[in-house]
């Protein structure tokens, strides 16, 4: 796939609400810690459903060196059934309120425009959307807040059907084209390019072969010039390769994080913050 050569630049900064990540100063990727305030997420569903438990988990992640906390109130695992707006807001807003001055940026993992709007008003710094802002009202929600970070993810179909029979002629090229088009659309709407990060969407409408191809060719995504997020932690692709159950996938998840970092990932979304931070510190010491 041919890319516009003017776009092939490594990002120097990423604006994330009240925070600015400067990639000329930091070499290791941003560690985005996953905080699921849900009863049914694939890895830790139910553990942090109570707001106090979620807040305690966030405090542990901060102590372990997390750079960004991604708060979600609705599972998007394969086959997940959507929840109502009211239920999602009830799950996430108390957590955001409690953590908004915790010293690290906060992200909201949602595709609902009203959740985005209320979370941003409550003090969230970034919107992480599996639908890449394709749902009604989502673009307006992020353009009304001039500095919030945005993560655009690729997904084929939707969480209910995405794993039925995903097909691509060229998975890497097709995902790149989609993310390039979505980012260009936002820029046309007045969004500054330094607010945009992209996510190829491991496990979202991809087979094991697709996922492994994207990981092996991950550096191709960086050529669009936006920070690229790698979200591989504990996913089924790791289970299929290793034969390990979800809670036994820490070591291969950390290995995948290092593979992504080697191939240019700037953001690593993980369940296991302490282990990933330590591994990336060693990776940084060796490489820089």
Catalytic residues: 235, 269
Contact between 91 and 54 (Cβ < 8 Å): no
3-state SS, the chain, equals: CCCCHHHCCCCCEEEECCEEEECCCCCCCEEEEEEECCCCCCCCCCCCCCHHHHHHHHHHHHHCCCCEEEEECCCCCCCCCCCCHHHHHHHHHHHHHHHCCCCCCEEEECCCHHHHHHHHHHCCCEEEECCCCCCCCHHHHHHCCCCCEEEEECCCCCCCCCCCCCCCCCHHHHHHHHHHHHHHHHHHCCCCHHHEEEECCCCCCCCHHHHHHHHHCCHHHHCCCCCEEECCCCCHHHHHHHCCCHHHCHHHHHHHHHHHHHCCCCEEEECCHHHHHHHHHHHHHHHC
Q: Which of 2, 119, 141 lies closest to 70 in space, CA to CA?
A: 119
Q: How far apart are CA 202 and CA 102, in angstroms?
A: 29
């Amino acid at each position: 796939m041919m890319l516009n050569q003017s776009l092939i630049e490594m990002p120097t900064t990423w604006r994330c609400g009240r925070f600015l990540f400067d990639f000329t100063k930091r070499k290791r990727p941003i560690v985005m810690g996953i905080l699921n305030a849900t009863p049914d997420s694939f890895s830790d569903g139910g553990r942090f459903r109570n707001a106090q438990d979620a807040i305690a988990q966030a405090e542990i992640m901060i102590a372990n060196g997390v750079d960004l906390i991604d708060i979600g109130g609705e599972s998007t695992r394969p086959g997940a059934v959507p929840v109502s707006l009211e239920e999602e807001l009830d799950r996430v807003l108390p957590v955001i309120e409690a953590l908004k001055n915790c010293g690290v940026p906060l992200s909201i993992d949602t595709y609902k425009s009203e959740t985005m709007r209320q979370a941003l008003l409550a003090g969230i710094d970034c919107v992480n959307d599996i639908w890449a802002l394709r749902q009604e009202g989502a673009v307006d929600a992020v353009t009304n807040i001039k500095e919030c970070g945005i993560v655009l993810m690729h997904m084929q179909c939707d969480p209910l059907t995405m794993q039925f029979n995903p097909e691509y002629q060229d998975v890497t090229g097709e995902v790149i084209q989609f993310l390039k088009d979505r980012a260009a659309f936002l820029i046309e709407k007045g969004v500054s390019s330094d607010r945009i990060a992209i996510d190829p969407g491991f496990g979202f409408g991809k087979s094991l072969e697709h996922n492994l191809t994207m990981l092996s060719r991950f550096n191709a995504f960086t050529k669009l010039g936006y920070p690229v997020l790698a979200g591989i932690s504990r996913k089924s692709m790791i289970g299929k390769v290793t034969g390990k159950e979800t809670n036994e996938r820490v070591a291969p998840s950390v290995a995948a994080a290092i593979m992504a970092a080697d191939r240019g990932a700037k953001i690593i979304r993980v369940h296991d913050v302490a282990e990933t931070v330590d591994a990336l510190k060693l990776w940084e010491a060796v490489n820089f």
